[in-house]
Amino acid sequence: MPRTELKAIILRGYVDWLREQGLLELIKGRVDEPLRALLQHPPVSTQWLDAGTTTLPLVDALAAHGGLPMVRRMSYEAAIGPILRIVRPIAEGIVRLAGGVRGVVERLPLVFRGSTRNVDITVAMEPGNQATVLIRSRGLHESPASAEAWAGCVEAMVGLSRTRAVIEVSSLENDGDTSTIGVLLRW
């Protein structure tokens, strides 16, 4: 079964945020040696990384230290900073063509495509100003911390439409080799 992979720009964004917050050494002390080495010397931004051995243990370690809100904050702030630099041309084009927050939300799968592999993202638009983003990861057992990290990234992308939305994790299911996270958006 293929494993969920993320571009190293995500890990690099997390490392930068942890360093700025003075938390990098603490988190390095809470993860296994291979990840510790990556946190010390992150790979080039375009390299694919196994999420199960990199970002998942990192967000779990941060959640154990500072709770789920801290994970959401890190993901959001990393996404609006270094991560967005990679997807900015796509995201800005989508915002111009989308015609508001609804259009941005509908196109989230396109925005995430360039930085994820073996992740299926679908959007279910609901009546009124509401939608659910479903994130299906293969070969990965997602955690509440990783669900919050996804929600923070969704929040950053929706923020490009200059609309404030209420975003919450609505579900997390692990079924064998597939995890499904539901992120509910209301604007």
pTM: predicted TM-score of the whole model, two decimal places: 0.91
Is 4 in contact with 52 (CB distance < 8 Å)? yes
Q: What number is the average pLDDT over the span 20-49?
A: 97
Give residue-wise pLDDT tens across range 136-160. 999 999 999 999 999 999 998 888 7
Sequence-distant (6+) residues with CB within 8 A of 38 are 11, 49, 54
Cα(16)–Cα(131) distance, integer angstroms:
31
N-to-C CA span, the chain: 37
**Interior CA angle at 5 toward 65 and 44, to 5°?**
85
Classify residue 82 by its DSSP letter: I
Domain residue extents for the chain = 5-186
Give residue-wise pLDDT tens across range 73-121. 999 999 888 666 666 666 666 666 666 788 888 888 988 888 899 999 9
CATH for 5-186, options being 1.10.150.120, 3.40.50.300, 3.90.1520.10, 3.40.50.2000: 3.90.1520.10
